[in-house]
Amino acid sequence: MSGRARVALVLVVVALALGPLFLTPVPPSEWVPELWGSSFGEPRGWALTLRELTPLLIGGVAVWLALRAGLFNIGAEGQMLVGACATGAVALAPAFPGQLVIAIAAGVLAGALWALPAGALRTFRGGHEVISCIMLNQLAFLLTGWLVKGPMKDPNAGGATTKMLDESLRWAPIAKFGRAELDWALPLGLALMVGLWYWRKHRVGGYELEAVGTNATAARFAGIPAEMVQFRAFAMSGGLAGLAGALLVVADQNRFYDGMTSGKGFDSLGVALLAGANPLALAPSALLFAALNAATTGMNQIGIPKGLSGLMLGGLILLFASASQRKDNAHE
Amino acid sequence: MSHIDLRHITKRFGSFTAIENVDFRAEKGRIHALVGENGAGKTTLMRVLFGALQPDEGEVHIGSEAVRLQSSSDAIARGIGMVNQHDSVIPALPAWRNLILGAEDGPWLNQAAVIERAEALAKPLGFEFDWTAPAATMSPGATQKLEILKLLWRNAETMILDEPTAMLSPADAEGLYGTLRQLAEGGKTIIVVTHRLPEVLEGCDEVTVLRGGKLIESRPVAGLTAPQLAEAIVGRSVEAPELTPPNLGEENLVVENLTLGHSLRDVSFSLRAGELVGLAGVDGNGQRELLRSIMGVLRPDRGTIRLQGLNVTKASTRARLGAGLRLIAEDRYQEAMIASWPLVENAALGQHLRPPFARNGRRDLAATRVAAQAMAERFRTKFVSLDQPIGGLSGGNQQRFIAGRALADGGGVVLAFQPARGLDLAGIDDVYGALRAHTRAGGCALVVSFDLDELLAHCDRIITISHGELRVPAPEQARDREAIGRMMLGEEA
């Protein structure tokens, strides 16, 4: 594509993304500062963005892992939700020693178990994981919804939510900047990401994962048990998504409520796809999604519907994705 | 006046000159051979004639008229047709639809009318087809005949065939040249691009030799000998390899009563340390299934496989690779390499668990680079950097690298599926030379090839496979080309 055509294309996408905002009754003098202020502005914006960032980063790590094995874990949303629900259930049980650790482990396990049927169907029977994951997502919505409207419901609350966790089971923030809070979940997510990077580059397991994801037949001829590698990667992906849900409960919301993941698992797909082949790109990718999510929340508060700002978000993601794709092609 | 007359053709790709100032003429009624090594410019020249490439310099004359071919459709409109090296039939479609594919005369297909005209074209050549059967059920020989009919359907006067006999048995190859002769006598201009010198000497009238993008000579075949032709192609004299008798040792690979559906029937044979064995057969007669069963990628219904004395019938592919089995796979893109990966990453594939590539699950990237460099240099792979994707190399260079990998550590049993595929004479000598050196150092190797002459020239002994049945020629027929050729077709030797 010629340089001029490229510029024109970018302008079209920007116009499509931002254009609708001019149609709202809210004047640009209000929403332009809000767009920035609610994502990176001090201090409210950072607070919103940071809260969005952690689950997207860990969810992104989860989806990325499956993606490199050649599997599309569209079930991350459901796995995150059952992970959060399981963690909430254990954390709200009568106190016992090691409750916090076991609660988080329960979230990881629940996520992994929720991924298992889809992983097994795909690797051992050839059933497409996208179809089974979409069905498992529905089951997760319905099951957790029923639990939190029934057995797990806080009798004193009006909505479908559990009680708040005991103070001792909440992760205290490690730092506060105004209203922005930083808790251990974010460093943990970053550590997972760096760990994944190291594993892929320096461990035989990471090499085999890449081989299976890129060319499963060649991997089989090289003695790599491709089905087993895929199955394990998918279960691990589910476990990591479950962890993202667990941390949402213990580090952020301190309770479980109906539909609390609110699309973060689906956004994780975008985070992982945008990051491409390099796991270290998951952090900036998650930051972009987090900031845009925070911006739509902020703009909703000044009267711009989420649907409209979501359109803008989609346009911007398209722009970033095509930019990163172009770089990928230049490598080949 | 020649029917086809290419004058002073030069074609460059960037800074690389693929062909330089090449003249090429072909007459009506003659079979013209175009020969040369990999990268000599044969295919480039033919693609210029077929309109798929536009020359940077030079003129194309067809029937004494100067033409500018902008695309293949231009060439087809001027009566030029080309059959590619890899067959272009769609297996799921019936023969008649493959025949007209891309040359339909409207949105409606009239099966009866198509078959009527197809029969009229096929009959004079003695071809018989089941027009409504899917192309997948056709033999390689029949597929090749269908390709020729496709050109006739498009009213081709000039027919270019790129390696038409690569997948054919000797008998089918002879049949093909019979057909080509008939077509030439009917006034067609036939151009055959080939690596097989006996075909040139026996089946063709004229020969043009290219080397390094330049015209070496163009002359009648009459009076030419095989060594002269080989020397013209390579640029130095070529001697047939001397087959020293092997120094036989233990049975390193023993296959007993291997059965897999209808593909393999009670196959038994053994390889001893020190020998290079050729498995001759027409494509699709069970070679693929046999090698995959030995690798452990396919599970046979019955039978046992012993590797270096160990029963590995139920072992994983990984365990077999660990026991010294190595494969030069049939399908480079699907089985042998990961095309988007750099050479250095492909170097470890298969042995990636073991030193020097890894220790205790930790990869040794520095040692991997050293090993990759050695693999690339082993057969003079032409590459820019170990970090370039292997898919970007030419097919011949990919094959050199993969052969280098399989033979890198002197493993015990090498299985090679068409190891010389896509290689020129020098490359073929390199690879077979290395396989021989490997066996003389105490290893053994089984080579599958569809080219019986290639196997006869390089292997210690030859076994044949036909319809999944493996047969060993009687000692007095061990090097009898005709007898083995009949066994390849499942006939009595």
Residue A173 — φ and ψ, nearest 5°?
A: -65, 145
CB A72 within 8 A of CB A66: yes
Question: What is the distance in angstroms between the Cα of A275 and the nearest Cα belonging to chain B?
Answer: 18
pLDDT in tens, A61-96: 999 999 999 999 999 999 999 999 999 999 999 989
Q: Which residues contact A262 (CB under 8 A, 6 or more apart)?
A: none
User: Which of B295, B341, B349, B359 is the best substitution to test chain A (most A C-beta atoms within 10 A)?
Assistant: B349
User: Which of A197, A221, A229 is the best substitution to test chain B (most B C-beta atoms within 10 A)?
Assistant: A221
Residue in chain B closest to A203 (alpha carbons) equals B362
Which B positions 105-144 lie with beta carbon below 8 A of chain A? none
pLDDT in tens, A165-216: 888 888 877 777 776 678 888 999 999 999 999 999 999 999 999 999 999 9
Average pLDDT over residues A319-332: 57
Q: Fold identical between B4-234 and B241-324+411-493?
A: yes
Is A328 near chain B, with CB under 8 Å? no
CB contact under 8 Å between B318 and A205, yes or no, is: no
Is A222 near chain B, with CB under 8 Å? yes
Residue in chain B closest to A217 (alpha carbons) equals B335
Is B361 near chain A, with CB under 8 Å? yes
Q: What is the pTM of this model?
A: 0.76
Is A225 near chain B, with CB under 8 Å? yes
Residue-range domain boundaries for chain B: 4-234, 241-324+411-493, 344-408
| Contacting residues of A for B350, CB less than 8 Å apart | 221-223
The mean pLDDT of chain A is 86
Confidence of residue A329 (pLDDT cuts 50, 70, 90): very low
Please tell me the distance from the alpha carbon of residue B197 to that of residue B227, in angstroms, as a whole number: 9
Average pLDDT over residues B282-301: 90
Superfamily of domain B241-324+411-493: P-loop containing nucleotide triphosphate hydrolases (3.40.50.300)
Which B positions 372-411 lie with beta carbon below 8 A of chain A? 389, 392
Residue B432: closest CA among B461, B403, B410, B453: B403
Residue B401: closest CA among B4, B422, B168, A127: B422
Confidence of residue B239 (pLDDT cuts 50, 70, 90): low
Length of chain B: 493
Residue of B318, B334, B361 lying closest to A218 (CB–CB)? B334
Residue B264: closest CA among B468, B112, B111, B89: B468
| Contacting residues of B for A207, CB less than 8 Å apart | 345, 348, 352, 363
Residue in chain A closest to B333 (alpha carbons) equals A218
Residue of B320, B340, B352 lying closest to A207 (CB–CB)? B352
Residue A77: closest CA among A63, A57, A61: A63
Q: Above 70 in pLDDT, residue A20?
A: no
Average pLDDT over residues B128-137: 85
Question: What is the distance in angstroms between the Cα of B441 and the nearest Cα belonging to chain A?
Answer: 24
| Contacting residues of A for B337, CB less than 8 Å apart | 215, 218
In chain A, what are the domains? 25-304 (1.10.3470)
Residue A321 — φ and ψ, nearest 5°?
A: -65, -40
* Tokens 């260079």 found at: B397
Please tell me the distance from the alpha carbon of residue A112 to that of residue A121, in angstroms, as a whole number: 14
Is A220 near chain B, with CB under 8 Å? yes
Please give the residue that has the higher pLDDT: either A81 or B1: A81
CB contact under 8 Å between A332 and B389, yes or no, is: yes
Question: What is the distance in angstroms between the Cα of A109 and the nearest Cα belonging to chain B?
Answer: 26
Q: What is the pLDDT of residue A43?
A: 65
Question: What is the distance in angstroms between the Cα of B318 and the nearest Cα belonging to chain A?
Answer: 4
Q: Which CATH architecture has domain B4-234?
A: 3-Layer(aba) Sandwich (3.40)
Residue of A201, A205, A218 lying closest to B338 (CB–CB)? A218
Beta-strand pair B413-417/B444-449: parallel
Residue B137 — φ and ψ, nearest 5°?
A: -85, -5
Question: What is the distance in angstroms between the Cα of A141 and the nearest Cα belonging to chain B?
Answer: 39
Exposure pattern of B93-123 as b/e (b: 16+ CB <10 Å)? ebbbbbbbeeeeeeeeeeeeebbeebeebbe
Residue A242: closest CA among A61, A99, A95, A23: A61
Q: What is the pLDDT of residue B430?
A: 81
Q: Above 70 in pLDDT, residue B55?
A: yes
Q: What is the pLDDT of residue A146?
A: 94
Question: What is the distance in angstroms between the Cα of B334 and the nearest Cα belonging to chain A?
Answer: 6
Geometric angle at alpha carbon B297, from B291 and B300, rounded to 5° = 75
| Contacting residues of B for A209, CB less than 8 Å apart | none
Please tell me the distance from the alpha carbon of residue A236 to that of residue B317, in angstroms, as a whole number: 25
CB contact under 8 Å between A214 and B318, yes or no, is: no
For the ranges A227-231, A315-319, B106-110, B275-279, the lowest mean pLDDT is seen at: A315-319
Torsion (CA) B396, B401, B403, B408 in degrees, nearest 10: 160
Q: What is the pLDDT of residue A210?
A: 93
Is A86 near chain B, with CB under 8 Å? no
CB A252 within 8 A of CB A51: yes
Average pLDDT over residues B206-217: 90
Is B315 near chain A, with CB under 8 Å? no
pLDDT in tens, B66-112: 889 898 888 988 999 998 766 678 888 888 888 888 888 778 888 88
Looking at B154-269, list the stretches that DSSP marks H as alpha helix, in order from N- to C-terminal side.
Answer: 170-185, 197-203, 226-234
pLDDT in tens, B224-236: 888 888 888 877 7
